[in-house]
Chains A and B, each alone.
Chain A
Amino acid sequence: MLTELDKEIIASIQGEIEITQRPYLEIAEKLGIGEELLLERMKDLCNRGVIRRFGATIRHQQSGFEANAMVAWKVDEDRIDAVGEKMASLKAVSHCYRRNPTGDWPYNLYTMIHAIDEASCREIAVKLSTETSVSTYTLLFSRRELKKTSMKYFPTNDVQ
């Protein structure tokens, strides 16, 4: 269960941690609590798996990972776990999920692949296909970012 304080803390660390000497002190003061309590509650939220990751988010396009592709795979259900875990073990794969196929969309396994360029993404897909013997798949390169933001949970009236 999340307490009201947990929610307030989540709301105040989901944006930007300032690049200043004492960023947590500023946040704690806004919340009207001590800096030590804030840090203790944050560590607790990490330990409970509520915070998945606490740190810097990098724009890969500006750091050498020029291309990313979502690859949708059509995998026999009776071996989807084995295939999913195999694909997940590759370093170039950042995300790997099973999703239900629907209507005219037959794919049930999804991977995100990151590489230097599109050709490298394609090579990685071929390698994954060969290694897992999954031959039906489609690569979806991102042509344009239309939105990328982080979720704002538990909004307060405070102007952040």
Chain B
Amino acid sequence: MPPIDDVDRAILNRIQSDFPMTKRPYLSIAENFGLSENEVIKRLERLKKKGIIRRIGGNFVPEKLGFVSTLCAAKVPEDKIEGFARTVNRYPGVTHNYQRDNTYNIWFTFIAQSMDEIEGNIEDISRETGVKDIINLPATKMYKIRAHFDL
């Protein structure tokens, strides 16, 4: 059985970037598709349980909240990856962290109140883990940011 059917797909496409801000949002969605509110709720509960929906909620522009964000990369020896990830992931401002196949093999995003704070954190991480090669790559221009995937 396929993990999602056409109705699921239509609902997901509808609510990725434009979840209703109405008193009964699931009823609003239901009305778009000629379904009942209860059916929309049941379908979304199932998609959530299956892990297809990670979360429903707000995503913000850090800079508009007085924060800065950046992308960092580090060269971490294979046997140090676990420890390095533990140290880095402890910071609440590290929201994404991936191992990638490159000499710079650990890539993480960092959000904080200032770039100085991030630089300081990078120094602390370097001292604690012994990993010297950590680069800080703040974006200087944004051409596209999209998180909507047509399913």
Contacts and interface: CB of A to CB of B under 8 A. Distances in A.
A58 B143 contact: no
A95 B145 contact: yes
Given A88-B144, A102-B135, A42 B21 contact: yes
Interface stretch (B94-102, B114-122, B123-131): B94-102
Interface string A92-104: 0111111110110
B137 interface: yes
A108 to B, nearest CB: 9
Interface residues of A, number: 73
Interface in B72-121: 73, 85, 88-89, 92-102, 104, 106-108, 111
A19 B104 CA distance: 40
Interface residues of B, number: 74
Given A23-B25, A55-B15, A103 B135 contact: yes
B71 A94 contact: no
Interface in A77-95: 80-81, 84-85, 87-88, 93-95
Given A21-B26, A146-B99, A63 B19 contact: no
B39 interface: no
Contacts of A58: 12, 16, 52-54, 149, 151
Interface string A25-61: 1000000000100010011011011111111111110
Nearest to A53: B59
Given A49-B61, A88-B143, A147-B94, 10 more contacts: A13-B58, A22-B24, A51-B58, A56-B16, A56-B19, A99-B139, A105-B137, A110-B71, A146-B106, A149-B95
Interface of B: 3-4, 12, 15-19, 21-27, 37, 41, 44-45, 48, 50-62, 64-67, 71, 73, 85, 88-89, 92-102, 104, 106-108, 111, 135-149, 151
